[in-house]
C-alpha cells in the first residue's frame, strides 16, 4: 500500500526531480538498504557480476531467489492481456494456435491461466526450485503442464516447436539478450509475446535485472521483426510482485 502510494507520488514529480532523487539514493543509500532488507542470500552486486557468472552459479542464484522470496510478478490483468493477444494472433495470421512455450515461468501463474484457457503449455525456467513450486501448485489444481529446466539463451527444443512463445518479466533477467531473442525466434511458429518493465539502468535494485528497456523502440529493435505491436501498460495498481510501468510486445515471425 505504502509502496503504491510512493510510486503514485513519484510519478507526479517532474522527470528531472525524479532523476535527481534516484541518483542521490543510488550513490548514498541503495546498496546498504538492500543488504539490510534482504540479507545474505541476495547478491547486491549482481549487475556488476552477472556477465562473468557461470551457468551453475546462475541457477544457484535463482534457486536462492525462489527459496527466499516470492517472485510472482504477473497478476490476472496481465494473464488476460496475454490471452487476448494470443486470440488476436490467431485471427491476424489465420493460423491455429495450440502449443505454447512459457519462458521464465516462475510460479506458473500465466502457464496455469493459458492451460485453463485450453492451450497445451510447456514451461521453461532456469530455476529447479521455481519449477518445483509451480509444478506443486499446478498439481494441486489438477492442471497438466510440461516442465523443463533450462536457459532462455539456449532453448532446449527443436526449431518451430511452438505456435506461440510467451515471456513475461523474464527478458530483463537474461545474461545474453541477443542469444535469447534468436532462440525465441527459432522455436516460434507464429508469435512471440513479451512483457517487460519499462525502466532505465540503475546499478543497485531489488532485482536481478540485466537488460533495460526504457522505451518501446528498445524492445522493437531487440526483436527486429517486421510485423509487431508494442504498447505501454500501467501496472501500478497490480496485485503481483511488480508494480510500475511496463512494455507489452507481440511480434509475428514469418
Ligand X SMILES: C[S@@+](CC[C@H](N)C(=O)[O-])C[C@H]1O[C@@H](n2cnc3c(N)ncnc32)[C@H](O)[C@@H]1O
Residues engaged in binding ligand X (CB under 6 A): 62, 71-74, 104-106, 109, 125-127, 130, 151-153, 168-170, 173-175
Shortest Cβ distance from residue 106 to ligand X (Å)? Answer: 3
Residue closer to ligand X (CB basis): 105 or 114: 105
Q: Which residue is nearest to ligand X (CB)?
A: 106
Residue closer to ligand X (CB basis): 126 or 145: 126
Residue closer to ligand X (CB basis): 151 or 249: 151
**What whole-number distance in Å separates Cα of residue 9 and Cα of residue 18?**
10
Shortest Cβ distance from residue 164 to ligand X (Å)? Answer: 15
Shortest Cβ distance from residue 247 to ligand X (Å)? Answer: 14
Spatial CA neighbour of 192 closest among 113, 248, 123? 248
Shortest Cβ distance from residue 183 to ligand X (Å)? Answer: 10
**Partner residues linked to 192 by β-bridges:** 165, 251
What are the CA-CA distances from residue 140 to residues 123, 136, 222 (Å)? 17, 6, 38
Between β-strands 120-125 and 188-197, what pairing exists: parallel, antiparallel or unpaired?
A: unpaired
Please tell me the number of Cα atoms within 13 Å of 99 on its side-chain side.
Answer: 11
Residue closer to ligand X (CB basis): 106 or 251: 106
Residue closer to ligand X (CB basis): 54 or 94: 54
Neighbouring CB atoms inside 10 A of 118's CB total 7
**What whole-number distance in Å separates Cα of residue 30 and Cα of residue 21?**
11
Shortest Cβ distance from residue 110 to ligand X (Å)? Answer: 6
Amino acid at each position: 500500500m505504502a509502496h503504491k502510494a510512493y510510486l503514485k507520488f513519484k510519478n507526479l514529480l517532474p522527470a528531472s526531480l525524479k532523476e535527481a532523487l534516484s541518483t542521490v539514493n543510488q550513490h548514498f543509500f541503495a546498496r546498504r538498504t538492500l543488504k539490510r532488507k534482504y540479507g545474505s542470500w541476495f547478491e547486491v552486486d549482481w549487475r556488476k557480476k552477472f556477465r562473468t557468472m557461470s551457468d551453475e552459479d546462475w541457477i544457484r542464484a535463482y534457486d536462492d531467489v525462489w527459496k527466499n522470496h516470492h517472485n510472482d510478478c504477473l497478476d490476472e490483468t496481465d494473464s488476460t492481456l496475454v490471452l487476448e493477444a494470443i486470440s488476436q494472433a490467431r485471427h491476424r495470421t489465420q493460423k491455429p494456435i495450440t502449443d505454447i512455450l512459457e519462458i521464465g515461468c516462475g510460479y506458473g501463474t500465466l502457464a496455469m491461466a493459458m492451460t485453463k484457457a485450453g492451450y497445451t503449455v510447456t514451461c521453461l525456467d532456469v530455476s529447479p526450485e521455481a519449477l518445483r513450486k509451480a509444478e506443486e501448485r499446478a498439481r494441486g489444481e489438477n492442471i497438466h503442464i510440461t516442465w523443463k529446466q533450462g536457459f532462455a539463451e539456449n532453448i532446449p527444443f527443436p526449431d518451430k516447436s511452438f505456435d506461440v512463445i510467451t515471456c513475461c518479466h523474464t527478458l530483463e533477467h537474461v545474461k545474453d539478450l541477443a542469444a535469447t531473442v534468436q532462440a525465441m525466434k527459432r522455436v516460434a511458429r507464429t508469435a512471440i509475446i513479451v512483457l517487460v518493465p519499462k525502466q532505465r539502468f540503475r546499478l543497485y535494485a531489488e532485482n536481478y535485472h540485466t537488460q533495460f528497456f526504457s522505451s518501446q523502440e528498445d524492445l522493437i529493435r531487440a526483436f527486429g521483426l517486421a510485423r509487431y505491436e508494442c504498447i505501454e501498460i500501467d501496472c501500478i495498481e497490480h496485485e503481483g510482485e511488480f508494480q510500475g510501468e511496463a512494455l507489452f510486445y507481440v511480434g509475428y515471425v514469418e
